[in-house]
Amino acid sequence: MDIAVVGGGIAGLTTALALTAQGLPCTVFERSDSAGSEGFGIQLAPNAGRVLDRLGLGPALDAVAVRPVARELRRWDGTLLARTELGEAATRRYGAPYRLLRRADLLRVLAAAFPGPVHHGRRCIGVEEFRGGVELRFAGGGRYRAAAVIGADGLHSAIRGCIAVDDERPTGFAAVRALVPADPGEEPRIVVRLGPGGHLVTYPVGGGLRNVVGILPTGADPATFFAAAGPLAADPASFSAFAGPLAVDPASLFAFAGPLAGGVPAPLLDRPPLPKWHRGRLAVVGDAAHPMLPFLAQGAAQAIEDAAAIAAALRTTRGFDAYEAQRRPRVERVVAAVDAGRHGAPATLPDHDWIYGC
Ligand SMILES: Cc1cc2nc3c(=O)[nH]c(=O)nc-3n(C[C@H](O)[C@H](O)[C@H](O)COP(=O)(O)OP(=O)(O)OC[C@H]3O[C@@H](n4cnc5c(N)ncnc54)[C@H](O)[C@@H]3O)c2cc1C
């Protein structure tokens, strides 16, 4: 029997790759019918980059990713508060580059590198432990026997529900995302613009596109909220000054009618801390273990760190205990830093060394 990985997202595929690199055979079960096609972007910080580079994915990622030269933190009116250089010196400092790319490209790179099977259209609905293994059950019938199960099935994880019972919690925030045209001549950088009760992040993702993420209070209308937040709407030029020229004016940013546009705010949920990340032959990684607000762009990065840690832990006699012992203190520190941003603390100020790992 091999190890079953439930969920073929960033956490699941990276876990599968890390297990394979440790010589541990595994099979991935993903509920969706096809590989991820989500268009929006993702920031891959150097702490994630180091793991992925060690798995041999650096060249494939570099073929599709943009390397930002800096991250800028600006007031809503465009005033520069801080600039963190992310170019070559940072790559040397952290041991891996900062990368910006489309999520679908990341999933494609991960899937292409995994030699084992990924079974699509298999939604796990329960597991039962038996002597020597675990049996997974799938919607629509079908079972699979595995030596152990790693739940990488996200915020609404079925595997987490087999370890402990808790509910998703509203955070009071929602996210709206869009892809808009980028200026071909612009300096590749991440710009975080802080507003009252919300913020806006933009960065290029390649292919002539820029990813925009707006964080705003749940229930607020994006166009009204971002227009009312300050001189942004009154002075589109100031928006351009902070984010580079855009083909759309800021107030209608999230109403952008292109085929890749987002526009509908999705409430951001999290869960209370999980008392144990594993039980018997079950364990969880990524958002299934520790969902967090996206304020530090670390959710996927921490999932990627989990993947390397759980695979290495399964090579030791302490198994899942070793995984949790290694990862929990670091994840709790990251979550605490993210949560500080809920109350307007400058969680995005450039003290990132401990996160990026030097
Ligand atoms: C607006 C926003 C911006 C973000 N930006 C960043 C960023 O820039 N950088 C960063 O590091 N993080 C970012 N994050 C966080 C990041 O998106 C998540 O932490 C990351 O996607 C978690 O990956 P995961 O694989 O654990 O979960 P998911 O991405 O949720 O993947 C779970 C997978 O499991 C599958 N699945 C679910 N249930 C089952 C089941 N029962 N059986 C089989 N399969 C199942 C799903 O279909 C999915 O493929 C952001 C989040 C948000 C909301």
- pLDDT tens column, 223-264: 777 766 544 433 333 333 333 333 334 444 444 333 334 467
The span from the CA of 86 to the CA of 88, in Å, is 7
Q: How confident is the model at residue 343 (pLDDT cuts 50, 70, 90)?
A: low
Where residue 40 falls among pLDDT bands split at 50, 70, 90? confident
Q: Is pLDDT at 17 greater than 80 in this prediction?
A: yes
- For ligand 1, atom 20, which residue shows the shortest CA distance? 300
Is 284 close to ligand 1, i.e. is its CB under 6 Å away? no
Q: 167: exposed, middle or buried (C-beta count within 10 Å: 0-12, 13-18, 19+)?
A: exposed
Cα(12) to centroid(ligand 1), Å? 10
Q: Which two tokens stand for residue 239?
A: 């928006």
Q: Which residue puts its alpha carbon closest to atom 6 of ligand 1?
A: 297
> Cα(97)–Cα(300) distance, rounded to whole angstroms?
16
Separation between Cα atoms, residue 1 and residue 146, nearest integer Å: 5
The Å distance, Cα 300 to ligand 1 centre, comes to 7
Average pLDDT over residues 270-284: 96
Whether the CB-CB separation of 75 and 44 falls below 8 Å is answered with: no
**Known catalytic membership, residue 203:** yes
State how far the Cα of 299 lies from the Cα of 301, in Å rounded to an integer: 5
Q: What spacing in Å lies between the alpha carbon of 287 and ligand 1's midpoint?
A: 6
Whether residue 284 contacts residue 278, with contact meaning beta carbons closer than 8 Å, is answered with yes
Summarize pLDDT for 89-105 with one digit per residue, the tens. Answer: 889 999 999 999 999 99
What's the full length of the chain, in residues?
A: 358
Q: pLDDT: is 250 or 39 the higher one? A: 39
**Among 27, 29, 31, which residue has the most ligand 1 atoms within 8 Å of its CB, making it the best to mutate?**
31
Q: What's the one-letter identity of residue 282?
A: L
Give residue 9 CA to ligand 1 midpoint distance, Å: 6
Q: Which of 188-197, 228-237, 341-350 has the highest mean pLDDT?
A: 188-197
The CB of 43 under 6 Å from ligand 1? The reply is yes
Rounded CA-CA distance 182/170 in Å is 33
Query: In sequence order, which residues have a C-beta less than 8 Å from that of residue 64 and are 6 or more positions away?
Result: 101, 102, 105, 108, 109, 206
Asked which of 64-73, 157-166, 179-188, 311-320 is least confident by mean pLDDT, the reply is 179-188
- Among candidate residues 94, 98, 144, 203, the one labeled active-site is 203
